[in-house]
Structure formats: C-alpha cells, structure tokens
Amino acid sequence: MHNTETITDRIVLVMLGISIWSGRKKLKPEDLNLLDGETYSMTRPIRLAHLDDCAAWWGGPQRQGRVETERAWKVSAEEIKARNYNLDIKNPHVEEEDHGDPETLLEELTNAEAEVVAIRDQLKQILSEALLR
C-alpha cells in the first residue's frame, strides 16, 4: 500500500477528558468481499460488521478489558495538550521508515533518468537502422 491513509488504515477512538485511544485496523479484501485493489466507496460503504473486533476490543460501555497492543495505543490528555491538540500521533509500536537522504535520492533519480534517456536513444538508433534496410 502507498503511503496514503484510507479509512481501512486508521480509526481513532476518543474518550474526551481522560485519554485518547488510537488504533489501526487492517482490513483485507477477503474480509470485505472486495476484489483485490477495491476500496470502500459510496457504493461499497464500511459496515458495522467490519468493526466487530474493534467493538469487542473497546470493552463495551464499561470499557472493561481494553489493553494496548501493537495496533492500539493510548495517549494521555496531557500529552495531547502538550502537542497543541494535534491528534496526528504515529503508532509508537512501529518504527518510522527511513526513506534516505533527499540529496542522495535525487542523485539516484537523476542517474536513473539519464540511463532511461540513453536506452531510448539506443532504441531510436536501432529502429532507424532497421527502417533503412
């Protein structure tokens, strides 16, 4: 999956005044009777049944038995306030991907593009010679 988030990637559950629980629910196409590559849409909306395991984890009105997992974590109200109420909090159980140094990536891209141009020029030359025969 690309680095974009959809409703299938993130669901935030909020308890105001005490703490915020955030979690990720990975939904597989077979769980939703979707074909590979399809996503939720107006004609294929998310259904409550898709969230049954989230509801079970939530612990009902008493919120009994809820625990932090690799896909669910809690953030205190104090931490939210310290973050100036920014709720874009990354999963603390997942290491952030290092995409590398931007300068190095740009240099690699420039080299790859130059290689593509050289191959295209070779192909043009081969085709031109073939047409002259």
Q: What is the tens place of the pLDDT at every residue in 51-85?
A: 777 778 777 777 778 888 887 888 888 888 898 98
Structural domain count of the chain: 2
DSSP alpha helix (H) spans, the chain = 29-32, 52-58, 77-82, 102-132
Instruction: Please state the separation of Cα 122 from the chain's center in Å.
Output: 40
| Percent of the chain surpassing pLDDT 90 | 23
Q: Are residues 15 and 77 in the same domain?
A: yes
Structural domain boundaries, residue 113: 98-133
Instruction: Give the pLDDT score at 30.
Output: 59
- Asked if the structure places residue 6 within a domain, the reply is no
State the average pLDDT over residues 45-52: 75
